[in-house]
Amino acid sequence: MSFLGIIPARYGSTRLEGKPLVDINGKTMIQRVYERASQAFDEVYVATDDERIEKAVKAFGGNVVMTSQDHPTGTNRCLEALQIIQEKTGDKYDVVVNVQGDEPMVEPGQLKELMSAFEDETTVIATLVTPVKRLDDLFNEGEVFVTFDQNMYALYFSRSVIPHIRGTDRSKWLDVTTIYKHLGLYAYTKEALEEFAKMPVSHLESLESLEQLRWLESGKKMKVAITQYDSIPVDTIDDLERVRELVRLEEGPSLTE
């Protein structure tokens, strides 16, 4: 199968304005995501609606396409980007992988694990989950949790911890069972991406503010792949400083320091 990596990137953010262009040890965040994704895919594109991001991507030699400012989700932006890329290049892709533009420490191995879900020919949409290892994650309102069936299809995603373990203090839950959290990476066949993007917002999606529930609530299946790699989405200044420190530990001081 042929895979295309697309990184949706918007300049606007309610908690961290301009975050694709923030500096992390001498490179912008979007460059770090792009370079890591390029280790997993033959072709990677940034999909943006902002000329500042477009300019930054071109400056480090990356592929970028300009998309509409009106997309409600990254899924819709991915679809428009795919259409532009296929029309521009003439290339056809079986699967599109939506790589989050605010995860500068995404592991290429994660992306390969996600792609492996399509070895099952029935898979049309897949996503990644990872076991919760830090108790703090169970009290972090920014995390999303997931349950899935014995065939590795998602049952439900929630901003509440699921499953709820009745009669046991939450501080002991990880001693009782494995709880999984969702990592915001998706892969879609071209046909599933087109169908997903056209669906109206569902009731559960609007309540939880989780677009993947739109697919489940319509009665469709979403394959789950488990990874041991965790990731650190950058949503706040505190997240950014944490990632900067981790990168400095990995790479040493940047040339600009």
Write down the mean pLDDT value for the chain: 92
What confidence tens digit (pLDDT) does each residue in 96-135 have? 999 999 999 999 999 999 999 999 999 999 999 999 999 9
Residue 111, CA distances (Å) to 14, 160, 175, 177, 248 in order: 27, 26, 29, 26, 23
Tell me whether residue 240 is in a domain. Answer: no
Tell me whether residue 255 is in a domain. Answer: no
- β-strand 125-131 against 27-28: which pairing, if any? unpaired
Query: Using CA of residue 140, residue 143, residue 148, residue 151, what is the dihedral sign?
Result: negative
Tell me whether residue 45 is in a domain. Answer: yes
Tell me whether residue 254 is in a domain. Answer: no
What confidence tens digit (pLDDT) does each residue in 155-214 have? 999 999 999 999 999 999 999 999 999 998 999 999 999 999 999 999 999 999 999 999
Tell me whether residue 242 is in a domain. Answer: no
- Asked whether the predicted pLDDT for residue 88 surpasses 70, the reply is yes
Number of domains in the chain: 1
Give the whole-number percent of the chain exceeding pLDDT 70: 98
What confidence tens digit (pLDDT) does each residue in 28-62 have? 999 999 999 999 998 999 999 999 999 999 999 99
Q: In what helix (H) or strand (E) does residue 185 lie, and over which residues does it extend?
A: strand 180-189
State the Cα–Cα distance between residues 15 and 25, nearest whole angstrom. Answer: 21
What confidence tens digit (pLDDT) does each residue in 199-217 have? 999 999 999 999 999 999 9
CATH code for position 221:
3.90.550.10
Tell me whether residue 241 is in a domain. Answer: no
Residue 234, CA distances (Å) to 21, 47, 243 in order: 12, 18, 8
Tell me whether residue 253 is in a domain. Answer: no
pLDDT for the residue numbered 69? 84
What confidence tens digit (pLDDT) does each residue in 34-43 have? 999 999 998 9
- Label residue 112 exposed, middle or buried (CB < 10 Å: 0-12, 13-18, 19+): middle
Residue 92, CA distances (Å) to 87, 95, 101, 168 in order: 9, 9, 23, 51
Read off the pLDDT band of 68 (50, 70, 90): confident
Tell me whether residue 248 is in a domain. Answer: no
The amino acid occupying position 7 is I
- β-strand 95-98 against 3-9: which pairing, if any? parallel
pTM above 0.85, yes or no: yes
DSSP 55-72: HHHHHTT--EEE--S--S
pLDDT for the residue numbered 256? 59
Q: How many CB atoms sit inside 10 A of residue 195's CB?
A: 17
- β-strand 145-148 against 44-48: which pairing, if any? unpaired
pLDDT for the residue numbered 257? 57
The end-to-end CA distance of the chain, in Å, is: 43
Domain residue limits at 228: 3-234
Read off the pLDDT band of 12 (50, 70, 90): confident
Report yes or no: 185 and 129 within 8 Å, Cβ to Cβ: no
